[in-house]
Amino acid sequence: MDKVVQNHREHTCDPLPADRGATGTDAVAERDVERVLDLLSTAEDVLRDGVSYSKVPDREPRTLEATMSAVEHALAEGRSRWASGHRDIDTARMLAAVLQLGIVRSSFRSSSMERRNTRMFGLSTFLHNLRLHSSVPDLIDRIPAEVTRLGLRRVLVSRVSGGQWIARSAEAVDQTELAQAMVRVGTEHPGTLTGGMVETEMVRRRAPILVHEAEDNPRVHPQLRSLIDCHAYVSAPIMISGKVAGLVHGDQNVETGTVDEADREMIGTVAEGLGFAIERTMLHERLRGLRRKLEDQHNAVNAFIDEFAESNEMWPEAGSAPTPGRNASHAEVTGAGGICLTRREVEVLGQMALGQTNAQIAGNLFVSEGTVKTHAKHILRKLGAANRAEAVSRYHLMMRQA
């Protein structure tokens, strides 16, 4: 039996091998596990070969599958012994055990596949929801809540900086105060990536981990361990531009009450998706900032050209005398406090006083809407107005004083 399950990794820190992706058998419900354990007990009674098949080291799907394979092999040997003339085995019970094994194994795999499909659909929805956030801070704040929808009760997201991982956001299903405490404790007591914490190895290997018996492990974050009474958890690094920029932790699968290899693989896929989503959001933020700068420069150039083109009209003809109202139509309108607007600004302000929108003003004056926005910004600044209504009020006052 020991040889059969020798591939089961019982290390406290169990990293995911590089050659495996998020395609392992999913977590199974407790009822399916109990059926397998009942089968293993039955096999012990039938075979009586001294092997305690039901005493599995854990209830992970891989271990249960390996044990059922061992029982299948032992039953096959029993049939061979009976065929060779040995009658020390209850044939009827042995055949019943073989039949039961086939039924339970088929049900176990079917249940596992169904849950795996459900989880894959959940991952697809999760990745889609990440695209709905337009800013990195908003995305990071929402990550824990999105991950809990995949079946983990408690999730913590941390940023990595200066050899430390510092809590950033958290979610605990039906435990809001606990989530807030996780962030507070994880901020006041950052985890280190240069010492003996299990996360150090995870970051070095850049692979997700499954940590067993966390409550007795000195390599687990002591303050967080005491706060949340964690028995086992999974974690994975969030990669951005080839560097570890953050970590995501999770524990307590809603179906099993603990976490297993399937949860580790899932958190690894989640972290990979988060890295791409954060990179995408950062890129979009930079593009939006660049667009705003280019629009501002474009509008400023248009406004400058307009003002330059209009500057010739600021000079009165030789020998001419100023006519009433001339200041209102040229770039020499001066109100109380020495406020001076260009002719175009006066035109824009006049259109604003008529209740015209920026688009309407642009059409009336044959300029771009961006140019109108730039003029409006200058008008508000020169008049010391907080909004368009206040600017229009001051415009009417200036016209009465002109």
Confidence band of 375 (pLDDT split at 50, 70, 90): confident
Confidence band of 1 (pLDDT split at 50, 70, 90): very low
Q: What span, in angstroms and rounded, lies between the C-alpha atoms of 278 and 139? A: 8
Domain boundary at 285, 318, 341, which? Answer: 285
Are 129 and 243 part of one and the same domain?
Answer: yes
- Paired strand residues for 169: 157
Are 66 and 169 part of one and the same domain?
Answer: no
Q: What span, in angstroms and rounded, lies between the C-alpha atoms of 43 and 53? A: 8
Are 221 and 181 part of one and the same domain?
Answer: yes
Model confidence, pTM: 0.55
Q: What span, in angstroms and rounded, lies between the C-alpha atoms of 333 and 342? A: 7
Q: Where is mean pLDDT largest: 130-139, 165-174, 283-292?
A: 165-174
With pLDDT > 70 as the criterion, what percentage of the chain qualifies? 77
* Residue 158 φ then ψ, to 5°: -130, 155
Q: What span, in angstroms and rounded, lies between the C-alpha atoms of 333 and 40? A: 96
With a CB cutoff of 8 Å and minimum separation 6, the contacts of 6 are none
CB atoms within 10 A of CB 164: 14
Mean pLDDT of 317-346: 55
Are 265 and 198 part of one and the same domain?
Answer: yes
Q: Is 377 helix (H, G, I), strand (E, B) or coil?
A: helix
Confidence band of 196 (pLDDT split at 50, 70, 90): confident
Residue 5 maps to a domain: no
Q: Is 333 helix (H, G, I), strand (E, B) or coil?
A: strand
Mean pLDDT of 76-84: 69
Domain boundary at 90, 115, 140, which? Answer: 115
Tokens of 183: 């962030």
Burial of 278 (0-12, 13-18, 19+ CB in 10 A): buried
* Residue 141 φ then ψ, to 5°: -65, -30
User: Per-residue pLDDT for 134 more than 90?
Assistant: no
Residue 281 maps to a domain: yes
Residue 32 maps to a domain: yes
HSE-CB of 319 using CA atoms within 13 angstroms = 0
* Residue 317 φ then ψ, to 5°: -70, 150
More confident: 280 or 244: 244
pLDDT digits (tens, 9 = 90+) for 36-79: 888 788 777 777 777 777 787 776 777 777 888 887 787 777 77
Domain boundary at 115, 139, 168, which? Answer: 115
Number of folded domains in the chain?
A: 3
Are 389 and 260 part of one and the same domain?
Answer: no
Q: What span, in angstroms and rounded, lies between the C-alpha atoms of 50 and 55? A: 12
pLDDT digits (tens, 9 = 90+) for 211-256: 988 888 889 998 998 898 888 899 999 999 889 999 999 998 887 7
